[in-house]
Amino acid sequence: MDVKTLCLGLLSLGDACGYDLKKTFESSFKHFFPAGYGSIYPALADLANAGLVECTKVPQAGKPDRKVYRITDSGRRVFLDALNHTEPQHKLRSEFLATIYFADLLDTERLGVLLDDRLQKLRDTVAQIEHIEQEWGPETPAGARFVAGFGAEMAKAAAEYVETNRHLLTNASNGERISEIKAAAGG
Amino acid sequence: MDVKTLCLGLLSLGDACGYDLKKTFESSFKHFFPAGYGSIYPALADLANAGLVECTKVPQAGKPDRKVYRITDSGRRVFLDALNHTEPQHKLRSEFLATIYFADLLDTERLGVLLDDRLQKLRDTVAQIEHIEQEWGPETPAGARFVAGFGAEMAKAAAEYVETNRHLLTNASNGERISEIKAAAGG
DNA sequence: CAAATCATTATCAATCTGATATATATCAGC
DNA sequence: GCTGATATATATCAGATTGATAATGATTTG
């Protein structure tokens, strides 16, 4: 499932322009499927080309025309098919963990900042998810609730792990090793 | 931090060829920074071009020459700099959660399969991490332990969330809605 | 009133993914 | 002894994605 398919899925819930979709990605999908304009606009163009969505230009005073997309019957069929016959991936790409892997090469201060920043972002994620959850009514579909809950729980678990285990990364023998390696680097 | 920088980091721990690096990515980085040949080989070529690593061809009987890469002093400097001055990202891309978001459109069986498959993969991840942890001796750096533990704990928390909350995705009113929507799709 | 943000479009170079190709060696099982 | 899978090792390529950048006028904020 690529951004194109996800856009199609969102359009199955209601008409929208690229800007609207981007806002949905920011509010509901941010923590598990980030997407920027650079993928959304080409996706919409491709979908329209393939006849899976139709586009209507809506002029506005002062602002650029809204290009409102509506899913077609063919589009619905293609989306349902993707949903039912695609093996879904799930992958993390963490430069944070990659950096921590080399914790030996970081001085204590830098390490502290990295961990604190990450904790802050995890807390922000939880707050952001709980904020959108508060605005939901009883009609909000179960899937949306499930994925939001998942995001919040994962962020809490990650924060707890970092807090509980950060002491493992700072032991007395580090200062020495860093000096040696930096010397070898001829810095 | 891109694949290129991570390759440089791994080479700071010892000489290796592309194939070796790929194995390291599979064993230690799989759960938080996957990378394939398509990114590793170009990365090594770029690093060599920039003088951050040196390459020696080692002929072998029957197999292709090993191209063994060794980090240079300049390479070490560049890596330390990246480690200390890059804002590290951390992002999930989950087609699984995207699919579950549209749980209303899935029939019960498909939903069950998706959840069971995910649970199985989470358990595999835990097993794989615990397996590599068992092979470590006392000299294994703290960073490697920390990121492995992180991966295992996250996988456990994810599995627990799925098991505890999967019932929210299957309620009686679903059958009806699916039929309606499929009808609207003109399938 | 200046500065920032909102609303809306769009493009582009660099990077990454996933599949594919090539060639030989070994090893398990029939 | 053959067959098929797996391991060793290289590399490329089309398509997807990222992150930055650009334009332009309206409205909100300080």
pLDDT in tens, A143-185: 999 999 999 999 999 999 999 999 999 864 554 555 555 556 6
User: Do the chains contact at A76 and B106, CB–CB below 8 Å?
Assistant: no
SS3 (DSSP) at B141: coil
Instruction: Please compute the mean of the pLDDT values over residues B168-182 and round it to a whole number.
Output: 62
Q: Does A172 touch chain B (CB under 8 A)?
A: no
Percent of chain B topping pLDDT 90: 86
Contacts of A9 (CB under 8 A, 6+ apart): A79, A83, B98, B101, B102
Residue A83 and residue B154: Cα distance in Å, rounded?
Answer: 26
**In the numeric block, which tokens belong to residue A70?**
């509506």
B62 in contact with nucleic chain C (CB within 7 A): yes
Residue B187: the pLDDT is 41
Percent of chain B topping pLDDT 70: 90
CA dihedral A39, A41, A43, A49 (to 10 degrees): -160
From residue A11, give the alpha-carbon distance in Å to each of A70, A76, B59: 6, 9, 56
SS3 (DSSP) at A56: strand
pLDDT at A64 over 90: no
Q: Does B184 touch chain A (CB under 8 A)?
A: yes
User: Do the chains contact at B99 and A114, CB–CB below 8 Å?
Assistant: no
pLDDT band, residue B180 (cuts 50/70/90):
low
List bases in chain C with any atom under 7 Å of a protein Cβ.
7-13, 15-26
pLDDT band, residue B46 (cuts 50/70/90):
very high
List bases in chain D with any atom under 7 Å of a protein Cβ.
8-14, 16-27
SS3 (DSSP) at B149: helix
Residue B64: the pLDDT is 78
pLDDT band, residue B59 (cuts 50/70/90):
confident
From residue A7, give the alpha-carbon distance in Å to each of A2, A41, B39, B127: 9, 10, 27, 35
Higher per-residue confidence, B184 vs B97: B97
> Which residues make beta-bridge pairs with A68?
A56
A42 in contact with nucleic chain C (CB within 7 A): yes
pLDDT digits (tens, 9 = 90+) for A8-58: 999 999 999 999 999 999 999 999 999 999 999 999 999 999 999 999 999
Percent of chain A topping pLDDT 70: 91
A115 in contact with nucleic chain C (CB within 7 A): no
User: Which residue is closest, via its CA, to the C1' of D24?
Assistant: A63
What is the topology classification, in CATH, of domain B3-85? Arc Repressor Mutant, subunit A (1.10.10)
Residue A172: the pLDDT is 45
pLDDT digits (tens, 9 = 90+) for A109-149: 999 999 999 999 999 999 999 999 998 999 999 999 999 99
**Spacing of A37 CA from D21 C1' in Å:** 12
Closest to B114 in 3D by CA, of B99, B94, B92:
B99
pLDDT band, residue B94 (cuts 50/70/90):
very high
User: Do the chains contact at B90 and A76, CB–CB below 8 Å?
Assistant: no
Of B92, B144, B171, Cβ closest to residue A101: B144
User: Do the chains contact at A182 and B105, CB–CB below 8 Å?
Assistant: no
From residue B179, give the alpha-carbon distance in Å to each of A70, A75, B173, B182: 21, 17, 11, 5
Closest to B55 in 3D by CA, of B6, B21, B82, B79:
B21
